[in-house]
Each structure stands twice: as structure tokens, then as C-alpha cells.
Amino acid sequence: MFADRQPRSFLDPAVLSRLQNFPFLARRPMQGNVSGRHPSPHRGSSVEFAEYRKYVPGDDLRRLDWRAYGRSDKYFIKEFEADTNLRCCLVLDTSGSMGFGMSGISKIEYARRIAAALGHMALQQGDAIGLSCVAKGLVQNIPPRRNPAHLMAIYDTLEQIKPKGESQLVPVLHELAETIRQRALIVIVSDLFVDPEELKGCFEHLRFRHHDVSIFHLLDPKEIDFDFRRPMRFLDMEGGPAVFAEPSEIADRYRKAVASYLEGVTKIVRESAIDYHRVSIDENYEQVLIRFLVGRARVKGGALR
Amino acid sequence: MSFLQPWLLAALPLVSLPIIIHLINQRRYQTVQWAAMMFLLAANKMSRGYARLRQYLIMAMRIAAIAALIFAISRPLTGGWLGRAGGGKPDVTLVLLDRSPSMTQSGSGTGDSKLETGRRQLAESLKTIGSQRWVLIEPGSDRPRELDSIDALVTSPSAGPTSASSDLPAMLLTAQEYMKANKTGRTEVWILSDIRENDWNAEGGRWQTLRDAFLEFSQGVRFHLLAYPQKAPGNLSVRVTEARRQKTGEGAELLVSLKLRREGQGDPGASTDAKETVPIQFEVGGGARSEVSVELAGAEYELKEHRIPLGPGTEKGWGMVSIPADASPADNAFYFAFSQPAPRKTIVVAEDPQAAQPLQLAAAISPDPAITSTSEVVAVSALGAVEWEQVALVLWQSPLPDGDAAKLVKAFVDRGGSALFFPPHSPTDAEFLGMKWTTWVGGPQEVPVETWRGDQDLLANTQSGTALPVGKLQVRRYCGLSGEATPLAGLKGNAPLLARPTTNRGAAYFCATTPAPPDSSLATEGVVFYVMLQRALAAGATVLQSTRQLTAGDSAGESPANWKRLAGSDDSVSTDYPLHAGVYESGDRLLAINRSSAEDASGVLADARVAGLFKGLDFSRVDDQAGSMGSLIQEVWRLFLAAMMVAMMVEAGLCLPRKPAPAVTGSSRIPSGVAS
């Protein structure tokens, strides 16, 4: 399928084929337009029993459970789960800070790999896939579609995007919450350098719209450890003022600030029931995705309705 | 704080090295593109608290370590001893020792005297400081003595205590002359003294000249005073005021009058009013001893004419009065010598018989039946035939002597005799001792005596304090006098009546009028005249006596070469006999030497006064106490080295990386996701 093209740097066929073994499932009922592998909010014709409910006139008599009638002398309709496909929206942070990477790979490159792999998997199981790039506003928005050509367009976009400008993640997430039709899977790949309190509003909004939200929070180990030795002049990658600092003097407070931020983020993702994955970009992305997929398979059909 | 190698302190700016390194380090920053600015900004806003303090502490410790190292190699000395005592080895160190009797005073609870303690302290301190040459200047000697090593200051017998008062200005003058003669380089003058008023003579006029002379030295002179100003409250001193032999029916007896004095300062009231029984021991001729106890209630006690029987054949002898030992041992004994009073012979040289007669009469009448007084009128031409060694007084009413006569009279005065000159009828140009008669002044009006010295010399008040009736004298005619002399009495209009020119020994007086009735009422109002003559006669006779009371340090023309010690301390060499209290035999004469009377009642010079004496000079002072064991000066570089090590250890402790947070390193430090 890619014979006539240059291989994409962010695609590794070996990884993709290994990931093929894991289902990419939604944690919440999704509203698709065709049959698929994901739970639907509607009752359907799958083999998975859902519930009994009392017969009401007008119900299809074929779905009456005669055995139940035999036991209880009451009319019950036997209902089954409906399986549907889903719309997966990849929200990629392309602000300047995503260009950072001191572990041999930049955050944006890492994000590309995750997005590309997820896109490939979704399409393979018949789900629609879309891409929104966020920097100073919504710089790219590709609505979800199910055809392979669409995936090509998404890959092209992933290839072309450059990390630039400051991040307007919060307003864009609010905007996406409204514009994406209800009950979609939204995968955010970002470093989330935003005040956790502001993020909380976005996450509540997305949840209100019945979206299943997953976050890959990308962080460079250097950003956490801050183990510089010499005095440094830090230039803001998003165009802010430069800061001069003596690492030995400021490291303690820096680490304190990071710890407090991470704690804040953890708290709000718990409160908002977000599928949150904090990722160090020196980690193998395949492992991160496996962890992600396994986690989702475990809760399939769970209480998140 | 003073230093032995203060030039090394020039390296002190090196303490800024840590700051400079820090600044250089800051300039060598790296620039990095950074994403997580929000944490940096948040960290900047946080209170720096301990982190900043730690940085400052580290910097301070580094600075302290360098400073301590520099101080240590500069070899600091403790005690702030004399400010900048250091400054490298001086070229010459002059040591001025106050060896006066008051320096033998010991401190409470110790046997060490001020002098011993001070010598030891000085030797230790000076050894630490070092010098090219040590020179000792002692009182009573105008020859500075070079010491082989400073240890000689402790061991040398010539640095021990004496009974003579010290003359600090004279010693400083000796020091100044030594510096001038030897062209010394950087000089340090160390004075060891208990700053008694009589030793320092702060009111004397010599200090100003000394100051000016020292200021002229371009090489810089530094003065250091090691002072022992403590007094000894309750200290008793004894002094014999008179020792007289008197004939009695059975033989003879000795009448001794003495004064006991108690030091009261420091504890007023309590010590001076407390009653105290003092046993006084009398010793005559080194054999017979007797003791009498007196009760001392006030500050002073006077024992009048205590009788001690003498053997019938004892014509002359010596004795000693002593009291029990106390804080100051030097004033616990007093020596005296007694003998038959010498006959007092007066020679009258007069051109006017009217004046000669009262002169001869007044000189011949003895005030005491035990003393034989004779007087003889001699012509100027017959002076050569006079037995001068028996003459006590010369009364001269004639043109001033010249030629051989002048030589004879001068030799007589230099030997210790007294001479009293009256104006001749017709004054000549002759000059004697720088004095010259000018012209007679006289008028119908009598000239009253306006001023006279009642405190000393011929016209002094009597022992009971009554003034002589000098004011009642009537001077009808007087002769002018020219030359440098101290006026003892003055007439109205500032003309001198009685003047005394300066002489080395003996005394010469010039009386501006004669006792002849046309000239004055000296003869008719005979009291003043008689007292005047007898006093001059007594003074002139003292050298003729076979016993003499001398003040230590003042050999009064006696040469110690053939002295033999009869009593006194054993630790003095024969050349120093005149400086040590005791009784000495010189030929057939007995000499009793004692401390000066000023020693007994001398106060301590106030601190401000001492500082004033050295005003303008590089002067520092430290007070010590007799018997103190602590060294005045000590090298303390070890302390600074230890301080440096402590500073370095604290710095190392502060620099240690803080215990890392319990989180693990690397990627797993980032907590994994929260799957909800």
C-alpha cells in the first residue's frame, strides 16, 4: 500500500503488526453509523445479552422470551447489546513546546508515532479517524472518516506539521467538545503545559458531551529531573521571555513546582474519569500503546455509560 | 589584633576570590531551548528561603576559610598587645625599666613583684616579636646597656629593684640620645613602670622637649607602656625623720623620731580608720634590737624621740627601723646613722666691720648646746691659709671674689659648702657663679619685702608651719643684682633681696643688702637673719659630718668605689651601692642610704595624663597585674588554622547534594498514567 511512497518516519510496520493483536476498544458506548466492535448506547442484535425488560404492546413478538414466560407467566423482552463503530478524534498539540526533546527524540515525533499507530489500528477495525492539530488555535482539523485514503491524508498532515507558537489547548478543547458529535473517542497527545485548573473545565466539558477521553501526557525526563549543573539561560520555545537560572539554586523549587503540577493533573484526571497516560518520551511508544490498549480491553463494557 | 608579618595581610583582597569565581561561573552560562517554562517561572516566584541562605552561607564559609588562612600565615598575636606591636622586627628595641622601690610591690596572693612580673612578661613578649638589638636603659645611669639576649632582662642583677626613684624623663632623654648617636632604624621603646607621679614627673618641663625631639625622628619611634598602676591599700611605710645621739648621766642615748604611713587609697574609710597595732623593730649597729608596738589609727603616725640607750663609748653608729612585711617590702625598713654633730665653722670675709660683726655673731651662736659653732673673720688675702675642709659656711661681704680667691670659694661650694654673699660698698665688675653686683639703690623711703619663698630653702617656714617674719624687715638700701638666679625673696618693685644661682652641689646665696644698720634691719630684727645663717650653716655642715643620710640614687659627691656595706640587701654590686638602701662605710664615715621621701606618698598618674605625655607620638599602653601568669602576647595562628578547617568543613557540608526525593530516576521517575 505504501510501495510508491517514501516510508513514513513515524510508522514502523513491525510495531503496527504486533499491535494488531490488541483490540482498540472504547470504554463508553459509542455512537457509530455502522456495526462495529464497540458498545452502543442502543440495544441491538449482538450475541451479548444485555437485560430483560417488560413487554409493552408494540414490541416485536419475536424477541419475547418464551422460557421466561414459562417460568414466571409474565412477558419479558430479551435485549442484546448493539455493537457499533466509533469516531476517533486525535487531538495533537503542535505548540512550540512540543519541539522539545533531550532524550534523542522530540515530543512531536513521539506524538506522531502514537497518533499514526492509533489511526492505523482504528481504521483496521473499521472505525472513523480524524485529526485536530492545536497550537495557537486549531491549526488543522480533519474530521473522522473511515476510508484508507483519509488515513493517507492524516499521515501527510502528521508529516508536515511543525511545532510552533504558543499553546491554546484549553479553548480548542472546548471548541472540539462542541463541534465533535456526541459519543466519540478523543485521544489527546500533548505535554499539557497549561494550568491544571483550566484543564479541568475542558475535561468536564468533554465528559458532559459523553466523549471517551484519553490523554497521552508527554514529558521529557530532563523536564522532571532538571539535573543541569552549570548556570543556564532558558529560552522559551513558545516565544515567552528567557529565564536565567542557577540550576543548583533553583532546582529544588523547580522540582517542587513540577510535583505540585503533576499532583494537580492527577487529581483532575481522576475526578474527570479520563484515561490518562503519563509518558516519558525516552520510553518505547509500543509499550505505552500496549499498556493503553490492554487497559481499555480490561474495562470494556464496564460501568462507563 | 597585631601581626608578626602584617604585610601578608595585603593578600586579604583574595577573600573576594570565591565571589569572583562565582561571577565568572555565572558568565559561562549555557543557553538552552526550554519547554517547561511554566515550572521555571513558578520556581522563581517561590520563596527562596533556605536555598538562598545556603548559597550565602557557602559563600561566607569560603570567604572565611581564605581570610582565616591569610590571618594564620600573618602570624597574629593575642591580647591586642599594644595595638600594632608587630610590623616586622624592629631595628632596635629600647627597654626602659622603672626600678623604683614602688615596683617591688607584689600583687595579692602572689609573691611576684611588679618588677619581676613585668620583666618576665616583657622578656616573653619581646622574644616573640624579635628584634635586631636589645638595649636596656636603667634609671640613674646615662649609659644604655646592650643586652646579648632578651633573657638577660630576667636574669641580669642590674635589672633588679633599687631604692632609688626613677626619672622617666631622664631615661627617655637617654633613649633619645642613644637613638641620635647610633642612628637607629625602626625603634621601639618599651617602658615598664608603675607610673608613679614622682618617677614620671609629669609636671616637669622636659616632656614637651622630649616629645618634640622624638617627633623629629623620621624612622618612626613606637612607644609601648607596660603599666602596673595598682596601689596597695593598707600598705605601711616607715621613715626615720631624725636620729640624734644625746648625752645622758650614765652615758648616751639615741633619740629616734619616725613616721609611719598607711596607704589608704582604693578603700577609703575602711582601711584608714581601722586601728592597727604595728610592731616597730629598732636595730642599732647590727646587734641590739628592741621593739615597740604602736597603734595606728589614721593614715599617719609619728613617733617622737624614741629613746634607745647607747653604750657610753658609742660616738657614732648606725641603725635600722623595720616593720613587718607587707605588700611593698621596699618601704618596710629605714636605715639611719648617727654621730656627734660636727663643729660648724664659719669664715667671714667683710670689708665693713659694721656688717662683719652681726655676721660673725650670728654664725658663732650655736642653736644647740651639743654643737660647737665658731666663726672667724678672714681677709681676702689670707684665704689660702684657711683649712677649707673644716669650713661649713662662708659669709662674704666684699667685692665678689676673683682669681685664686674665686677658685677657692668655688671649690668650697662644689664640695658641698654654703656661701652667702652680701654686696660691697662699691660694686666691681667681678662675677661669681654668673652673678654680679650692679649699683646701690636707696632712698628716704624704706623698701618693704614683698615676696619670699616660704616653702623651701633659707626662708622656709618653721617646722611647726609658722612663717618667718620676713615681711617685717626694713630695707633702706640695696644693691642691684644681675645674673641667672632663683629669687628666694623679693623687694617691692621686683628687685631681688635673696637669690640663689644654680650650683651643682653646695649652695650660694646672694643677699642684696647688708646687716649693717644703715642698710637694713637684718641685724636688729635678728630672727630672720639668724635663721637664714644657721640654715645655710647646717646645710654646709652636713658634708663635714662623719655620718650622712643620703637618698638613694643621689650619691651627693660620694664615690662608691671604696664603700663597704654594713647593712642592706646583698644582691647589689658595689658600683650600684648608691642605688640600694643600706648603711655603707666610706673611710671613717658612715652613710645611710634610703628611698626618697617622695616614694612614700606618691600617687599614680592618671591614665589621661599619661596619654597626654605621649600625645602625637605612636603610643600604646597595656595594664597588667603583679604576679599575673597569663602571657601578654601569644601567637594564635593555630586558632585561625582551626577556624579555616571548620569553615571548610561547614562549606563541604552545605555543598553536599541534598538527599534525593524518594522518586526513582530516569523515565520511571515520571509516575505512570492513571487509568480510570
Write the CA distances from A68 to A54, A64, A72, B253, integer angstroms. Answer: 11, 9, 6, 163
Task: Tell me which residue has cell 456526541.
Answer: A182
Helix intervals (H) in chain A: 13-19, 66-72, 107-124, 148-160, 169-179, 196-208, 221-225, 247-271, 285-298
CB contact under 8 A, B667 and A291: no
The confidence score (pLDDT) of residue B89 equals 67
- B668 contacts on A by Cβ (under 8 Å): 280
Residue A204 is given by DSSP the state H
DSSP line for B631-666: -S--B-HHHHHHHHHHHHHHHHHHHSPPPPPSS-SG
A235 contacts chain B (CB < 8 A): yes
Q: What is the pLDDT of residues A288-297, one digit of tens each?
A: 999 998 888 7
Sheet strands side by side (includes A87-93): A137-145, A128-135, A87-93, A185-190, A212-219, A275-280
Using pLDDT thresholds of 50, 70 and 90, give the confidence band for residue A33: low
Q: Taking the C-alpha atoms of B61, B63, B69 and B72 in order, what is their torsion angle to the nearest 10 degrees?
A: -90
Supply angle C-alpha B392, B398, B400, rounded to 5. Answer: 80
Looking at residue B102, its pLDDT comes to 86
Check residue B114 and give its pLDDT. Answer: 86
Q: Report how far residue B479's alpha carbon sits from residue B437's, in angstroms, rounded to the nearest whole number.
A: 7
Write the DSSP symbol of residue B501: -
User: What whole-number distance in Å separates Cα of residue B174 and Cα of residue B172?
Assistant: 5
Contact by Cβ (8 Å): B39, A225: no
Contacts of A258 in chain B (CB under 8 A): 36, 39
Amino acid at B433: L
Residues 44-63 in B contacting A (C-alpha not used; CB under 8 Å): 44, 46, 48, 51-52, 55
pTM for the full model? 0.56
A230 contacts B30? CB cut-off 8 A = yes
Q: ipTM of the predicted structure?
A: 0.83
Grid cell of B357 as nine digits: 660683726
Q: What value does the mean pLDDT take over residues A71-98?
A: 86
Give the pLDDT mean for A167-183. 88
What pLDDT does B669 receive? 44
Nearest Cα to Cα of residue B411 among B508, B493, B343, B317: B508
With an 8 Å Cβ cutoff, are B38 and A262 in contact? no
Beta bridge partners of B565: B584
Residues paired with residue B322 on neighbouring β-strands, in sequence order: B281, B333
State the average pLDDT for chain B.
Answer: 81
DSSP, res B44: H
User: For strand B618-623 and strand B221-227, is the pairing parallel, antiparallel, or unpaired?
Assistant: parallel
Region B325-334 average pLDDT = 84
Q: DSSP states of A168-181 as a string?
A: -HHHHHHHHHHHSP
Distance CA B44, CA A243 (A): 9
The answer to whether residue B167 scores a pLDDT higher than 50 is yes
Identify whether the C-beta of residue A56 lies closer than 8 Å to the C-beta of residue A147.
no
pLDDT at B664: 37
Which residue on chain A is closest to B672 by alpha carbon? A278
Q: What is the pLDDT of residues B291-300, one digit of tens each?
A: 888 888 888 8
- Picking from B29, B33, B39, the nearest residue to A257 by CB comes out as B39
Q: List the single range of A135-139, A207-211, B532-536, B585-589 with lowest mean pLDDT.
A: B585-589
**Cell of residue B549, nine digits:** 643620710
Provide the angle, in degrees to the nearest 10, between the axes of the packed helices B637-655 and B49-73: 150
What is the Cα–Cα distance from B108 to B100, expressed in whole angstroms?
19
Cβ–Cβ contacts within 10 Å for residue B20, how many?
A: 10
Question: What pLDDT was estimated at residue A279?
Answer: 92
CB-CB under 8 Å, A274 with B44? no
